[in-house]
Chain A
Amino acid sequence: MSAVVVAEQESRDLWVGGRGPLLVFAFSVLLSAMTYLAATNRAMNFLEQREAVNLTVQVSLTVGVLLTLLVSADAISGERERGTLEALLLTPVSRRGIVGGKLVAALTLWLACLVVTVPYLWVLGRGVAVAGQAALLTLIVGTLVAVGLGGLGLLISALTSSNKTSLASSLLLLLVLFAPTQLPALPKTGIGEALVRVNPIGSSLHYVSQVLVNRRSWTYDLSYLLSPALLAVVVCGVLIATSPRIVKLTAGVSSE
């Protein structure tokens, strides 16, 4: 119950405080520009409609997860620096409740990004009846990735001694995971295949494109969702197990 109170307040701070709307506005500007180019630009409008929808889903998923990661990376280290964490730790709310509430609040940003994405999917997917499928796919796959990376952001936030370090580490992590997805096509066997499968973002984007562009069934390449699912489960497990020791006034895992 206390976790719900923390989640409510954190969400209110995020959305009423102005940070959430600003990030979502920037996100929608990015999607608008991309959709406009996909629909009109000579260099890009060769894209088949399904490919345009796939591109939108991929941008939405990557940027939405990036924003979620940024919010969660600020959640504990930011409170430490602002001097508000001690008051929270002095309440009867368990450390797990605090972490759970903060993760849920960060995930509201991902859900907002998803809601913003739906109209773009509808516009680009008209005529091929793919918008609904794309939205559902984005919800399921994106939420899986957002939980995993949002949780990882919280872990980094709890373990790093400054907010800048936490944010920089989280951004670096996302860059490391995202960069391989932009490389020219990796070989489809051996190391290339393994790199795609082991990377939660790479494998998620691959799975989405297989369903949307290549019209595979949802179960055909389901094994590609193993790494994002595993990441989400492992990170949540680690948070549950370690939060009593890592959510504290000073960073690190040593006993205070």
Chain B
Amino acid sequence: MASLEAVRLSKRYGDRVAVDDLSFVAEQGDILGLLGPNGAGKTTTIRLLTTILRPTSGSFRVAGMDGDDPAGIRRRIGVLPESSGYPNRQTGAEYLRYSARLFGRDRAGAAQIADRLLADVGLSDRAGSRISTYSRGMRQRLGIARALVNDPAVVFLDEPTLGLDPAGQLEVLTTIRQIALHRGATVVLSTHTLTEVEQLCNSLLILHHGRVRAAGTVEDVIATAGRRIGSTRLSDAFLSLTNEERP
């Protein structure tokens, strides 16, 4: 059974269409890349699937739960929102313990989860430090750890490497790969960085002005779009599909 399925999903704000007639499927363990230029509808799509926004029309299922059961979906997903804020006065361990308790864990269970996840993302040595002292990369890893406190079946990561230096990007990408590999979770990765998609994702959804321009495996998308333009590069396929000018 698909762990993620959207059927003709749309979101409109008055006359403005943010997401239009979006349909796709992702299986368990997939890393689905969500690509598109600014304003393509990537964040709106994630917010629809994570129940933060209500669709104008269409339906979706996440981790076996229908879209009309938002609390059920939220119990089974983990999300790193775009430009997520953090409570600067809390320590990393406190932040994760609180998050785990919001998912129904008792104090002891929440403490165990926090310790394990901090170790998983390489932040054990800074567990007792205030988040205000963390670098951006450390915050992103903390955010990914937070997305995993409920052992989710589907993880949504909205531009997790935005603003990170190459070393920080590598750390985050390694963590994402491990999530799919060791936890068997489906990962939806929204990004602008094509190399991340090529390195990590086994399927791809290219959005432009809220509509799906291409979907399938990375190879399929390159082959289909590349055939028209005579290229075997994802960047060329992406630019061709989104009508962007080549530099």
Contact = CB atoms under 8 A, between A and B. Distances in A.
Contacts of A13: 87, 89-90
Interface in B141-193: 146
B104 A90 contact: no
Contacts of B224: none
A81 to B, nearest CB: 8
Interface stretch (B31-39, B78-86, B197-205, B231-239): B78-86
B52 interface: yes
Nearest to B78: A90
B98 A5 contact: yes
B86 A255 contact: no
A70 to B, nearest CB: 18
Contacts of A18: 89
Given A84-B87, A92-B75, A255 B54 contact: yes
Interface string A5-38: 1100100010011100000000000000000000
Given A87-B146, A249-B52, A255-B54, A93 B102 contact: yes
Interface in A112-129: none
Given A89-B52, A91-B103, A84 B98 contact: no
Contacts of B99: 87, 91
A132 interface: no
Contacts, number: 63
A6 B102 contact: yes
A2 interface: yes
Interface in B48-90: 50, 52-54, 71, 74-75, 77, 79, 81, 83-87, 89-90
Interface residues of A, number: 25
Interface string A66-95: 000000000000000011101111111110
Q: Is the interface of B mostly helix, strand, loop or mixed?
A: loop
Interface residues on B, range: 20 to 34
Contacts of B79: 87, 90
B134 to A, nearest CB: 15
B54 A94 contact: no
A104 to B, nearest CB: 16
Contacts of A255: 54
B50 A90 contact: yes
A17 B88 CA distance: 10
Interface string B98-114: 11011110000000000
A92 B103 contact: yes
The interface centre, meaning the residue of A16, A18, A93, A255 with most chain B CB atoms within 10 A of its CB, is A93
Interface string A242-256: 000000110000011
A90 B74 contact: yes
Contacts of A86: 52, 81, 84
A88 B75 CA distance: 12
Contact of A17 (B81, B84, B89, B146): B89
A21 to B, nearest CB: 13
Contacts of B85: 82-84, 87
A88 B98 CA distance: 10
Contacts of B53: 249, 256
Contact of B102 (A17, A84, A91, A256): A91
A17 B94 CA distance: 13
A256 B44 CA distance: 11
Given A82-B87, A92-B102, A255-B54, 18 more contacts: A2-B102, A2-B104, A13-B89, A17-B89, A83-B86, A84-B85, A87-B79, A87-B84, A87-B99, A87-B146, A88-B102, A90-B81, A91-B102, A92-B75, A92-B103, A249-B47, A249-B53, A256-B54
Interface of B: 47, 50, 52-54, 71, 74-75, 77, 79, 81, 83-87, 89-90, 98-99, 101-104, 146
Closest 7 CB pairs of A and B: A83-B85, A91-B102, A84-B85, A86-B81, A82-B85, A17-B89, A5-B101
